[in-house]
Structure 1
Amino acid sequence: MKTTLDNWKLWLIVSLTLGLAPFVPEPHIVGKLRWLIGGAVGMQPIDWFDLLQHGFPFILLFRALIIKFCK
């Protein structure tokens, strides 16, 4: 039985909209990932929560894709 968590098309749309928002001047998650790769110097708890919030749709997308292609 297919659930909402297994719907990769839904998570692709959510990832491309909410996961990348705001888009200008660069996607928000890209800036947070650069900050993290740079050593996360000065990251506050709100920044970690923000990274999790924008990254979670991508996590669910990867989960759904793994389930789809491994069955």
Structure 2
Amino acid sequence: MKTLLNNWKTWLFASLTLGLAPFVPEPHIVGKIQWILGGANGMNAIDWFDTVQHGTPWLLLIRALVMKFIKPA
């Protein structure tokens, strides 16, 4: 399990596919982030869940890259 969490290539692939899908007219996560930054007016629970679902691969990619480049002492 630890190997999967630290595998940045897996999370890069997941971020570029699941994290951005659907791609048209703009990546889904981009629209959700803009919606949140605009005040999140009208966001329902399903929209928040969708944001977490599309954002998780990005967070795990960042975590894997930090673990790769910053070795614990």
TM-score range, shorter chain: over 0.9
For 1:50, what is the secondary structure of its paired residue? helix
TM-score using structure 1 length: 0.96
CA shift, 1:50, in A, is 0.2
For 2:18, what is the secondary structure of its paired residue? helix
For 1:3, what is the secondary structure of its paired residue? helix
Distance 2:10 2:46 in 1: 27
Give unmatched runs, 5+ long, in structure 1: none
What is the root-mean-square deviation of aligned Cα atoms in Å? 0.8
Counterpart residue type for residue 25 of structure 2:
P
Give unmatched runs, 5+ long, in structure 2: none
Residue 59 in 1 paired to residue 65 in 2? no
Distance 1:65 1:58 in 2: 11
Residues paired across the two proteins, number: 70
TM-score using structure 2 length: 0.93
CA shift, 1:19, in A, is 0.2
Partner of 1:46: 46
Distance 1:30 1:59 in 2: 14
Distance 1:52 1:10 in 2: 18
CA shift, 1:8, in A, is 0.3
